[in-house]
Each structure stands twice: as structure tokens, then as C-alpha cells.
Structure 1
Amino acid sequence: MSSPDFAQRPPWTRPGFIAAAALLLAVILIGVLVAVFAIANNTRDNLSGGGAATSTPTPGSTPAESSTTAPGAPQAVPTAPPADVRWELFGQTAVPVSASAGPSRTGETASGYAHTPEGALIAAAQISKRAAHSAGRQSWEPTIQQQFEPNADRDRLLAALREAGDTPAEPGELSQLVGYQYQSYTPDTAVIGLVYRAPAAGTPRYHVLSLTLVWRDGDWRMVPPPGGAWTSINRMTSDLTGVIEWGAR
């Protein structure tokens, strides 16, 4: 026979019900703890960048590209000659002058060139012509002293020209500028090949003078030829592929 006291007690006070309720509560608490632990781990991973989840890109979108050019990096150069050039006679040859690219100052030297590919091109034509033996000492000496990078090659070039003395060129004896090509260009350094037609009868003969200029102290300056000899950067050619026609008409 069951105990009257036990039979009359509410079910939630009975031992079996209490044990079952305690077990259910323990399961719920364990589940809550697991969920909290998982959320905490995900939050820590996201804050540290260790999570594998990434945002889904919009269809057709691409990552943004940087528009910053690294210092000294090669740059695109114009594929056509400067548009505002006029040609002025300097001795027996014509030299280019541009209102936008220079030179802005002329006298015993020509200086003040734009910090652009066009400025470098006109500086190459002007400075090399004024530094040539045929220009006369009143031109080549200040040009080389003031507009060439100072080094041993510059000193050798000056010494060679001083030793040669002044001998005026005969009419028709000098090569004429007929074109150019940018061999490389950065805002710091430009290598430009000036193409000249040699003064010879019959089949045209060309030679390329590969000139290096550097941007220094607010202007383009010439790097002296190796050994102080123009012949070290001069080559004959019959191939004018890639050469842009340019010169006085």
C-alpha cells in the first residue's frame, strides 16, 4: 500500500520529477554555455583577421587599382612631336624652341625646360648642339660647365675640346636632326636617341646619338658621354623603326 502522504503530494514535489527537472536544466545550461563559447571564438577571430569569411563581391565589380606611380618608374611618353615648336637657327643648324617646354632662358646657354618628356626632348636637342665642338668655345664651354653633371667624364670632354681648339665647320658639313625616339623615360632620368642624317651624297646614312638627361635642381641636365667622347654614344644605322620624324623644314 502506498503511503497516504506520498500519494497526496503534488507531482512536482516527488523525487522522480525533481531529478528529471534537474537533468533538463543541466542540459539547457550546457547548451547555453556552448553557444556563448562559440560566439566568443567567432568574435575573437574576426577581430584578429583570422576568420576565413570574406565579403562577396558584387557581380561585375573589380578591385580598385592604385593610381600612384612608384618614384622613378617608367612612364608613357608622347607618340607625336611637341605641337608648339618653332625652329631657330643656331650657327649652321636649327634648334627647337617651345613656349610650353622651353628653353625659357637663353644667352650663352639655353636653360629652363619643362619637367616633362617634351621638356627633356628639347633639352637634349638644345644642350647637345650647344655643347658640340662646331658651336665654338663661347658656347660649348659654359654649356658643359653649367648644364652637364660634374664628373670625370665631363672634365675629359672639356679637356678634349680645349685641346682641339676652334675650327669652324664648313657649310653643309654638319649632320641635320631628322627624328628622335624615347629609349626610356622617368621623371628623374630620360634617355633619348636623336637621329641625324649624315651629310653624304647618295643613299641616306643616319646616326643615333643616345643622350641621357637627369632632372636636377629644377632643370634637365646632360650626363657626359663615357670617357668624355661623343663617339661612345653614337651609332650608325639604316633602321628607322620607331623613330618619330622631327626637325626643321
Structure 2
Amino acid sequence: MRSRTLLIMAAVSVVALGGTVTLFNDRDDPPQQGALPAAAVDHRLQSAPATELAGVSWRDFHGVQLPYSATDGPRTIDHDRVWGFTQTPLGALLAAVHLTVRSDPRWGQRVAEPTITQQFVGPDVAGLMASVNGYRPRAGSEAQRAYVVLEGFRWQGFTPDVASLDLVSAGPGDSDRTVRAATRVQLQWRNGDWRVVAPLAGTWTSAAAPVDSLDGYTRFPAGGRP
């Protein structure tokens, strides 16, 4: 699978104040590289919270269509930076998509660095920043663009303070074959907004797995296509 198809990646555990806290049962996880920790479930956990997508619109961000909601966020858009998501399932979903996409080093340090340092949490933020600082685009290449379509999502769990979901993205693989990846994103509500938990060891690859279909996932309207 080409790396460009794995634009959206995922964290494995949620890191809370005072230490690492694993929140969600992994009985429905996609296959991953290595076992995930056992889960202690928050009593407020919703495994399938209502997530209304009817009012969501889609806009281009360097080649990938991203969802926006007038009610749930992002409320603030400053060039390629965004913030301001509601403390709701839809707000968490939108934050997961926008912040993980904007942490990709191909957009440059002007976007990725402040996104990671200000909107990611956990002990592996420094490792994620190292991947951004070490990224070198190919000489003479055109402006970086994504070749990814967001196709759907599946909740692992939601509370007003933490959220966990899998996102499915699709892109071109070898021999013009479409390939899909399910990736885990986990978030915390801190200081009035959602923050994404940085992936273990500062790399997203251990949280992504190939998927063959969207069975069991909620499809985005028009598959995230314009």
C-alpha cells in the first residue's frame, strides 16, 4: 500500500492527565500490527452515538475533501488552520478528521507544527513533531496534494470527555487499484476544544490496517467526494 493512501492515521491509547488510560473495548477493532491494551470502559460510554451528517458540507483541502458543519465546527478557519469544535459526537468526528489531516508534514511546518503542538496531546507529541521536522519533499515537485478520499467511520466509543473512532480512507494503489485503510483516532476534550492524542512513538503506521469494504462503517455523504 502506498503511503499516500494512509493520510489519516490513528492513536492506540488515550493519554489523560496523570498517566495513560485505556478506555475502549477492542472487540470490533480492525486487524492491527500488534495487540492493543485491554480496556476499562467509562460508564458514560456510548458505542454508537447519534451523528447527524445531513448538514455537513465538503470543501477541498489540498486535494482531499473535508467535512464542515455550521453548528459543530470548525468554528474558526485561519488559512489552513482550524479549531473550535463542539463537545458532541459530530464535533469529535470533525475534529478527528481535520486535525489528523493537518498534522501531515506535506503541508509544511506552518500548518503541521502548530496543529501538533497546540491541538495534540500525550507523551508522543515530540515524536510526531520529529516526523514533521524530518520530512523532506522531493526536489522540484509541485505543491503537495493528497490523493485520498474519506469514505466512512465507525465509533469505538464516545463520552463528553474522550472519543475513539476508526476512519476509512481510500486512494490509488499499485496498478491503479483502489486501496482502503481503517485508522484509529482518539481524542480528549481539553480547554474547551477537542485534542487528538498523538500516536504511540510518534508514528501513525501501527494504528492503520487495510480494509476490503465499508461493511459496518457509516458512509460519509458521497464518500467525501465533491
TM-score by length of 1: 0.65
In structure 2, give the amino acid aligned to 1:230.
W
Could you say which residue in structure 1 is the equivalent of 2:216?
Answer: 242
Alignment match of 1:141 (pick from 91, 113, 127): 113
Q: 1:198 to 1:101 in 2, by over 3 A?
A: same
Task: Give the root-mean-square deviation of aligned CA atoms.
Answer: 2.4
Alignment match of 1:205 (pick from 174, 179, 189): 179
Could you say which residue in structure 1 is the equivalent of 2:81?
Answer: 109
Structure 1 Cα separation of the partners of residues 202 and 69 of structure 2: 29
Q: Deviations over 1:134-189 (max 9, x none)?
A: 222211111001100152x1101101220123456788862221111111111111
Alignment match of 1:181 (pick from 133, 154, 162): 154
Instruction: Check conservation: 1:182, 1:192, Cα contact below 8 A.
Output: yes
Could you say which residue in structure 2 is the equivalent of 1:9?
Answer: none
Residues matched between the structures, number = 179
Could you say which residue in structure 1 is the equivalent of 2:15?
Answer: none
Structure 1 Cα separation of the partners of residues 50 and 213 of structure 2: 18
Instruction: Check conservation: 2:51, 2:89, Cα contact below 8 A.
Output: no
The Cα shift of 1:204 comes to 3.4
Structure 1 Cα separation of the partners of residues 179 and 131 of structure 2: 27
Could you say which residue in structure 1 is the equivalent of 2:64?
Answer: 93
Residue 172 of structure 2: SS of its match in structure 1? coil
Structure 2 Cα separation of the partners of residues 145 and 133 of structure 1: 13
TM-score by length of 2: 0.71
Q: 1:171 to 1:163 in 2, by over 3 A?
A: closer
Q: Deviations over 1:46-79 (max 9, x none)?
A: xxxxxxxxxxxxxxxxxxxxxxxxx751126445
Show structure 1 runs of 5+ residues with no match.
Answer: 1-70
Structure 2 Cα separation of the partners of residues 170 and 139 of structure 1: 14
Structure 2 Cα separation of the partners of residues 227 and 92 of structure 1: 28
Larger-gyration structure (1/2) = 1
Residue 113 of structure 1: SS of its match in structure 2? coil
Report % sequence identity. Answer: 32
Larger RCO, structures 1/2 (Cα 8 Å, 6+ apart): 2
Q: 1:161 to 1:114 in 2, by over 3 A?
A: same
Alignment match of 2:102 (pick from 124, 127, 130): 130
Q: 1:141 to 1:166 in 2, by over 3 A?
A: farther
Q: 1:183 to 1:169 in 2, by over 3 A?
A: farther
Alignment match of 2:45 (pick from 74, 87, 98): 74
Show structure 2 runs of 5+ residues with no match.
Answer: 1-41
Structure with more of its chain in strand, by fraction: 2
Structure 2 Cα separation of the partners of residues 204 and 179 of structure 1: 15
Instruction: Check conservation: 2:64, 2:146, Cα contact below 8 A.
Output: no
Structure 1 Cα separation of the partners of residues 183 and 202 of structure 2: 14
The Cα shift of 1:131 comes to 0.7
Q: 1:245 to 1:81 in 2, by over 3 A?
A: farther
Structure with more of its chain in helix, by fraction: 1
